[in-house]
Structure 1
Amino acid sequence: MSLLLLPCGAGAEHLRLVADTWPPFTDQRLPGNGVATELVTTALSRAGYTSEYREVPWERAIQGLQRADYDVLVNAWHSDERAEFGHFSEPYLINRIRVVQRKGDDIIFTQLADLYPYRIAVLRGYAYSKAFNADKNLHRVGVSSFESAAYMLQRGRVSLALEDEYVARFQFSHQLKGIADQLEFLPMPLSENGLHILIRLTHGNHAEIARRFDAAIAAMRADGSYAAIMQRHGL
């Protein structure tokens, strides 16, 4: 678990941030605790907030936000279920979800129905897309990490796996380097999901935090500081 304190003006409101480990976006071992964490903490600092950042497993992060142990979830895709206990910012980053197969399997994917015959490794609790999550004909196999999914795929226990393209490429060059040449992306992405911060609804200023965060991200895009952070992380 990591802790990051950002200096700000005296009397500034302090926010408790949380995320799971999801490199290159959120990871205490990376510069700035990952590119998403750096974007969020920078924007919140510019919006006038101080913050501390903690990293816990995904389910603990969600439960902690619901229990008010934390104020802001750094890395949330939109879902109706999450909107019941959290307030979403505008998306500050786009995740392109790719379908991964064993190299040479030649699976054709142009619509969800094409995936019905296959076992698909999915991360538990992740909101890939409304259509994917709602389709009862898909054969999903819940896993705890993309690393697990990739090894299941390589060993033939599933036919497909899903992950954000940046995450998959990061892992193919690090912990999955030994099997990366055996796996490949299908040409068409499953979806593009906006990445948001999610502020607990029980926080009295949740809407104001989102408004000020969105304005800070817009200013960072305009002045080049957003692009500079992305570039520092190789994205």
Structure 2
Amino acid sequence: MLASLTLPVWLLLLAPVQAEPQTLRIGTGDWAPYVDQQRADGGALARLVSAVFAEAGYRVEYIFHPWDRNVLMLQQGQLSAIMPYSCSPSRLNYGVCSDPLVRGEVVLFHRVDQAFDWQKVDDLFNYRIGTTLGYSYGPEFDEALAGGRLMVQQSGKEDTSFRLLELGRIDLHPQDRAVGYAMLRQLFPKDASHITHHPRYLNKEPLRLLFRKDDAEAAELLRLFNAGLQAFAKRGDLERLQQALNSGNADSWQPSTSHHVAQD
């Protein structure tokens, strides 16, 4: 009886084999609500990027490191891409930027009890400013920082500057507005109202994936990603995500799928 149930070897060879999707390693950092290491799905932008690559037949694994280490690992070919990054001129020396995911707005956070106003970067020269290593705050600020014209205290962790600001050891902290308020809610759950932001933004530009420059495989991944991202944009996903980020509801946003759209 057992022999009669055994399939011939040639039939087994003809049976379809379900190939496992190729895994891409994307470097990122804890930057809620855009990317959140505490969430199984990685946060709002991770959900978007995973969905785009899934429709192209790839699975994404997110590697969380400090921002400057992500850049080094990308340059060494240890990562398929890094995100979310602004497309600053210095990054074009080693990377190629994807099409925009969402728009980020960098503002200056300060204590409520500290009178503060500014019009241009020159107005910031006498303030103690906390920044994060590997982060770009816009061309004017970055140029002043590189020229040593700002009093800056740099750290490798995202939350350090807010802790220093709360203690009064620095005066200002430039940070993405959505990220800043998400971080304040986490750091000071009982009362974060003693820290606010100035309404004038320091920089406003899209956040993107960054792929390795002069790399054929990376160039193909970039092409596939941009094409897939365009399809999501046409479905309204990127607009819905931007609205969710601006309103503080990013955790509830979910990307659509081509299958769901076909059923509508």
Is TM > 0.5 for Structure 1 vs Structure 2?
yes
Q: Does the 8 A contact of 1:17 with 1:70 survive in 2?
A: yes
Q: CA deviation at 1:232?
A: 5.4
Match of 1:6 in 2: none
TM-score (norm 2): 0.77
User: Partner letter of residue 122 of structure 1?
Assistant: T
Aligned to 2:83: 74
Deviation at 1:223, TM superposition (A): 1.2
Kept in 1: contact 2:87–2:208 (CA 8 A): yes
The C-alpha deviation readout for 1:79-100, integer Å capped at 9, x for no partner, is 2332222211122111111101
SS at match of 2:70: helix
Q: For 2:21 and 2:43, how far apart are their aligned partners in 1?
A: 24
Residue among 42, 45, 54 paired with 2:63: 54
Shift of 1:202: 5.3
1:215 aligns with 2:227: yes
CA contact (8 A) 1:127 1:133 kept: yes
Distance 2:164 2:27 in 1: 29
How far apart are the structure 2 equivalents of 1:130 and 1:84?
A: 15
> What secondary structure does 1:33 align onto?
coil
1:109 aligned counterpart, secondary structure: coil
- Residue of structure 2 equivalent to 1:96: 105
Question: Is contact 1:89–1:214 with CA below 8 Å preserved after alignment?
Answer: yes
Q: 1:43 to 1:184 in 2, by over 3 A?
A: same
Distance (Å, rounded) in 2 between the aligned partners of 1:206 and 1:94:
24
State which of 193, 198, 209 in structure 2 corresponds to 1:181.
Answer: 193
Match of 1:128, SS?
coil
How far did residue 27 of structure 1 move?
2.0
Correspondence 1:172 to 2:172:
no
> In 2 relative to 1, CA 146–73 (structure 1 residues): closer, same or farther, beyond 3 Å?
closer
| 1:36-92 C-alpha deviation (Å, 9 max, x unpaired) | 111111112223433322222323322211111111112122223322222111221
Cα contact 1:65–1:200 (8 A) shared by 2:
yes
CA contact (8 A) 2:102 2:238 kept: no
| 1:139 equivalent among 136, 142, 151 | 151
Partner of 2:251: 233
Amino-acid identity (%) = 24
**How many Å separate the matches in 2 of 1:129 and 1:185?**
17
In the alignment, is residue 107 of structure 1 matched against residue 125 of structure 2?
no
185 and 172 in structure 1: CA distance in 2 versus 1, 3 angstrom threshold: same
Unaligned runs of 5+ in 2: 1-17, 254-264
The answer as to whether partners of 2:52 and 2:225 remain within 8 angstroms in 1 is yes
Partner SS, residue 25 of structure 2 = strand
When the two structures are aligned, how many residues end up with a matched partner?
Answer: 227
Deviation at 1:227, TM superposition (A): 5.0
What is the distance in 2 between the residues matched to 1:12 and 1:86? 25
Distance 2:124 2:66 in 1: 29
Structure 1: distance between partners of 2:136 and 2:98: 16
2:66–2:156 CA contact under 8 A, matched in 1: no
Cα separation, 2, equivalents of 1:84 and 1:122: 22
- What's the CA shift string for 1:188-233, capped at 9, x where partnerless? 1111132111112253232332222122222112213445665552
Does structure 1 residue 29 correspond to structure 2 residue 47? no
Structure 1 window deviating more from structure 2 (16-25 vs 121-130): it is: 16-25
CA distance in 1, matches of 2:102, 2:238: 10
Contact 1:78 1:127 in 2 (8 A): no
Q: Deviations over 1:159-181 (max 9, x none)?
A: 11111111111112222334512
The structure richer in helix per residue is 2
- Residue 118 of structure 1 aligns with which residue? 127
Unmatched runs of 5 consecutive residues or more in structure 1: 1-8
Amino acid at match of 1:42: A
Q: Are the aligned partners of 1:118 and 1:139 in contact in 2 as well (CA < 8 Å)?
A: yes
